[in-house]
Every structure is written in C-alpha cells, then in structure tokens.
C-alpha cells in the first residue's frame, strides 16, 4: 500500500488557511537564506508559494555567501524584535564558515517555527513541545491520517540529525512507541530495521533499505531525498517494497508534509503571539 503525502498535506493546508481567516490578520513569516545553494533556493520558493496560498505573508531575506556570523545574528535580532514577524526560519544548510548551532540559538524561541532552537528541542524531549520540526511532525501526520497508531509498536528511526532523526524519535516515544535509533555506526542495520513495525528512514543514501531489511506489513516512511540521474529518489527501495509494506513514495510522500507543517507552525506562532 502506498501512503501518499498529497491528501494529508492538502488537509493541513486547508486547515491552516481556515485558521488564518479566523485570526483576522495575516501572520508574518521571515525566511533567511544565505548564499546560492540551488536546493535551498527551490525549497524557499516552495515555502513562499505555500505561504501565499494559506494567507501568510512570507518575506525572503537573501544574504550573500560571504555574510559573517555577526551580520546574520544582527538580522535575526532585528526580526526577533519586529512585531510583524510571527515566525522565522534560517534555511539550512549554511555556508561552512557559519556555525548553524550558534545561529539557531539567536532565534527567539517564540518565533522558532522550524523548532530547531535548543529550547524547542528540549521542550519536545520533555514531552511538552512548543514548535515541533516540520519534517518529523509531517511523518506523525502521515501515520495519523492512515490510522497507523504508534502506541505500543516497535519503531526504528534510521538517522539521528537534530532536524529529523532525533525529534522523530522523541515524537514516537511521546506517542508510546518503543524506539530504537540507528546511524552510521550501527552494526548490522538490517537486523535492527527488520524488527520495526514502524520504520522511519532519514539518511540521504539511495536504496540503503532493501527488501530483505523490512518486516512484512511494516509502515515505512522514507524521508530521504536523493538525486539519481536527474530523478528524485528516497532512501528505501520503493519498487521492491511497495507490495510488502505500507510505504511513502519519493517524491510525493513526506516532502509535501514538511512545508504544510511549517505553515501550521507559523499559524500557531501567530495565534500565540496574539494572546
């Protein structure tokens, strides 16, 4: 069975649009992009479009590659103090001379709609989240939409980044799954993944997860995005698994949810800022 992301994303975006109409004002989203990374440019373009569709006023602040950490922090502080900005994101990855951890710590946690500030991540781990990073939040939306209840299930997360793997594991633990996290030092990956009733893969390696590494009937959520011979593919061998597991496609799976959940976070920031 194929777990399509489109109907889930459409449902969320419709809810966000209705929420914005109810607010009575247009929430402001500031998107900071540094340098000329082509994928970042595309992602930001999609975010600007979806925001406009939902009635959110998104503005891109595009800075040159050579921007210093101090200059970037200065802009972030300015946006922190701008009442028209309800949510702010700094598009990652940053150029190598900038320390992402330090930059993200400059964002006011009340405007941290990417959920990557240590305060937001800490609150998530404590089981009392503020803003949940959009990609793992999107995975939970997919599970919920397709009535895959994580409670009591064995879940395996492959990948341990702050953006996807770690918050994903926290969300699953908070939803009463028994969670295992795998990464590049994990020995015998297949023996771990085969135990999963829910398998989330966020690595960035095409066909890392093969048919014999997945349990029959498992829910497989493929977060990976890889470009192979000009085509987008995930981390899971989709063709080999589409009849054996319930699986998200790439493209058309989690990717659609990431932007929708970001917009959901912007609405939440505006609602809470109003109170």
Cα dihedral 96, 102, 108, 109 sign: positive
Count other C-beta atoms under 10 Å from residue 274's C-beta: 11
Q: Spell out, one character per residue from 98 to 137, where the chain touches ligand NDP: x when CB under 6 A holds, - when not.
A: -------------------------------------x--
Interface residue with ligand NDP among 32, 155, 164, 266 (CB under 6 A) is 164
Task: For residue 254, state whether it binds ligand NDP (rule: CB under 6 A).
Answer: yes
Q: Whole-number minimum distance, CB 28 to ligand NDP, in Å?
A: 23
Residues 111, 112, 114, 264: which is the catalytic one? 114
Residue 112 annotated among the catalytic residues of the structure? no
Q: Which of 214, 217, 216, 233 is nearest to 225 (CA)?
A: 233
Note whether 193 binds ligand NDP by CB under 6 A: no
Residue from 189, 218, 245, 266 touching ligand NDP (CB under 6 A): that is 189
| Nearest C-alpha neighbor of 208 from the set 226, 195, 196 | 226
Q: CA angle at residue 92 from 63 to 78, to 5 degrees?
A: 50
Asked if 78 interacts with ligand NDP (CB under 6 A), we say no
Helices (H), the chain: 6-23, 38-54, 69-80, 100-104, 118-125, 134-145, 165-174, 189-193, 238-241, 254-274
User: Is residue 163 involved in binding ligand NDP (CB under 6 A)?
Assistant: yes
Q: Is 226 helix (H, G, I), strand (E, B) or coil?
A: strand
Q: Hey, which residues between 196 and 235 contact ligand NDP (CB under 6 A)? A: 202-205, 208, 223-226
Q: Considering beta carbons, is residue 178 or 226 the nearer one to ligand NDP? A: 226
187 is catalytic: no
> Order of strands across the sheet with 57-63?
57-63, 28-34, 87-90
Q: Which residues of the chain form contacts with ligand NDP (CB under 6 A)?
A: 135, 158-161, 163-165, 182-186, 189, 202-205, 208, 223-226, 254-255, 258
| Residues annotated as catalytic (active site), given as ranges | 47, 91, 114
């Amino acid at each position: 069975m194929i777990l399509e992301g489109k109907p889930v994303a459409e449902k969320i975006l419709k809810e966000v649009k209705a929420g914005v109409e109810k607010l009575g004002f247009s929430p402001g989203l500031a998107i900071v992009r540094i340098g000329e990374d082509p994928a970042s440019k595309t992602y930001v373009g999609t975010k600007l479009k979806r925001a406009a569709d939902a009635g959110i006023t998104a503005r891109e602040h595009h800075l040159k590659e050579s921007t210093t950490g101090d200059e970037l922090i200065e802009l972030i502080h300015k946006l922190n103090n701008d009442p028209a900005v309800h949510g702010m994101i700094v598009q990652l990855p940053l150029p190598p001379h900038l320390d992402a951890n330090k930059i993200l710590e400059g964002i006011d946690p009340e405007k941290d709609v990417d959920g990557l500030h240590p305060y937001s991540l800490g609150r998530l781990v404590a089981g009392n989240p503020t803003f949940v990073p959009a990609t793992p939040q999107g995975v939970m939306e997919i599970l919920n939409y397709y009535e895959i209840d994580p409670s009591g299930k064995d879940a395996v997360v492959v990948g341990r980044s702050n953006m996807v793997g770690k918050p994903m594991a926290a969300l699953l633990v908070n939803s009463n799954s028994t969670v295992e996290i795998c990464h590049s030092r994990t020995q015998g990956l297949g023996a771990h993944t085969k135990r999963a009733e829910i398998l989330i893969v966020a690595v960035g390696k095409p066909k890392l997860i093969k048919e014999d590494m997945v349990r029959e009937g498992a829910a497989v959520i493929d977060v990976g995005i890889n470009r192979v011979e000009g085509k987008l593919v995930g981390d899971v061998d989709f063709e080999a698994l589409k009849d054996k597991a319930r699986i998200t496609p790439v493209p058309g799976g989690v990717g659609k949810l990431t932007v929708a959940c970001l917009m959901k976070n912007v609405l939440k920031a505006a609602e809470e800022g109003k109170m």
